[in-house]
Amino acid sequence: MGAMNDVLVWSATAVAVAVALAGLASTLARRRIGLVHLAGAAVLEVLLVVQAVVAGVALAGGERPPETATFLGYLGGVVLLPVAGVLWSRTEPSRWAGTVLAVASLVTAVMVWRLVQLWEAPGV
């Protein structure tokens, strides 16, 4: 898989989906987000940072996906996304904070898989 580590990709996906479900659950329960959400988002962030470092090492080692610029854009974006999601949801005093976090988490999961696609895409 080159720059995209199987274990990291699947772990990040699982954690992202879990955080999204927890967020939706808190919205349905009419509650604000709690420590579980923040802890989950933190784990997700750590996984993404480790993945970004792994990808950075592969890139530094001379491996290149066909669309390097796009790949780098996604790599930078995916690391910032959970942080942005947490910040934007923490300032929301209603039950909708959970949905905000869920959106950010699901987009994170999608972006991780886009990164896998971009890395594995056949060169033009």
Footprint of other proteins (CB under 8 A): 30-32, 67, 69-70, 73, 77, 84-85, 88-89, 92-97, 99-100, 103-104, 107
- What does the block give as tokens for 70? 């796009």
Residue with tokens 């919205």, as numbered in its chain: 27
Segment holding 117, helix H or strand E? helix 96-120
For residue 38, with 0-12 CB atoms within 10 Å meaning exposed, 13-18 middle and 19 or more buried, which class applies?
Answer: middle
Smallest distance, other proteins to C-beta of residue 81, A: 8
- Cβ proximity to other proteins: between 2 and 95 the closer is 95
Residues 82 and 41 sit within 8 Å (Cβ to Cβ): yes
Smallest distance, other proteins to C-beta of residue 7, A: 26
- Cβ proximity to other proteins: between 6 and 123 the closer is 123
- Cβ proximity to other proteins: between 48 and 100 the closer is 100
